[in-house]
């Protein structure tokens, strides 16, 4: 067997070896995973679409506004059980953001209106011990988020898209929108937000998908 134990030693210093050592230190020429989040608008492995595909488990619940409720439960000082009118009475925000779906389509410039997660957090006052949320939907879907991701400055519970009520197939009357993560984290037909003291995986997270889901880090599939 050839002796290669010397191969990890530094070569004699030349202009090229100095550059190569510096490039390694700076991670020069690396793309994707080493890129500054948000520096590129289109995340790696994504392509742009102009239409808006529909993705779900195949059940599209019909929830009339008269019976719609949004429950806030778990580790919060003030659990809530909001009617549609209660929800409309909360401060309303408008955010512009891009959609990135793990199936590789992205859609730019979506205008969303609804209640920002920050305004909701102010209202329900999560316990010190709350670290995660589980989203529960009317079709039985669940997805989990760390509290800091749920509380992102442009995250909201949206009732309108491009100035119109969100269509049933896209999660109306109200859906979550967390733009900095793959779109499966954005629960459609939102029914309840449960505050947790420990992380727990939702539907796709126990079925092979990544727990965190950052598109710029290509966190597509389960890490274990």
Q: Cα dist. 61→42, 128, 172 in Å?
A: 32, 34, 9
The number of residues that bind ligand MTE (CB under 6 A) is: 18
Applying CB under 6 A, the span of 36-44, 71-79, 110-118, 133-141 interacting with ligand MTE comes to 133-141
**189 part of the interface to ligand MTE, by CB under 6 A:** yes
Instruction: Using the minimum distance from each CB to Mo ion, give the nearer residue, 55 or 89.
Output: 55
Q: Which is nearer to Mo ion, 84 or 112 (CB)?
A: 112
**By the rule CB under 6 A, 137 interacts with ligand MTE:** yes
Q: What are phi and psi of 51, to 5 degrees?
A: -85, -175
Neighbours of 124 (CB within 10 A): 18
Closest CA to 157 of 124, 131, 129: 124
96 sits near ligand MTE (criterion: CB under 6 A): no
**Binding mask of the shown chain, residues 126 to 165, with x at each position contacting Mo ion by CB under 5 A:** ----------------------------------------
> Which one of Mo ion, ligand MTE, none is in contact with 188 (Cβ closer than 5 to 8 A by kind)?
ligand MTE
């Amino acid at each position: 067997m050839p002796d290669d134990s010397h191969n990890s030693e530094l070569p004699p210093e030349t202009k090229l070896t100095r550059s190569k050592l510096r490039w390694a230190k700076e991670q020069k020429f690396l793309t994707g995973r080493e890129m500054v989040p948000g520096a590129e608008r289109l995340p790696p492995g994504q392509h742009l679409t102009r239409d808006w595909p529909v993705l779900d488990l195949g059940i599209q619940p019909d929830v009339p506004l008269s019976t719609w409720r949004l429950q806030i439960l778990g580790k919060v000082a003030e659990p809530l059980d909001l009617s549609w009118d209660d929800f409309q009475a909360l401060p309303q925000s408008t955010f512009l953001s891009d959609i990135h779906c793990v199936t590789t389509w992205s859609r730019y410039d979506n205008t969303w209106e609804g209640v920002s997660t920050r305004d909701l957090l102010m209202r329900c006052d999560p316990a010190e011990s709350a670290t995660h949320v589980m989203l529960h939907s009317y079709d039985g879907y669940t997805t989990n988020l760390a509290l800091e991701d749920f509380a992102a400055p442009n995250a909201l519970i949206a009732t309108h898209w491009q100035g119109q009520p969100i269509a049933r197939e896209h999660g109306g009357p109200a859906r979550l929108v967390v733009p900095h993560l793959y779109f499966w984290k954005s629960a459609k037909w939102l029914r309840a937000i449960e505050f947790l003291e420990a992380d727990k995986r939702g539907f796709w997270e126990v079925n092979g998908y990544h727990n965190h889901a950052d598109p710029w880090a290509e966190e597509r599939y389960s890490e274990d």
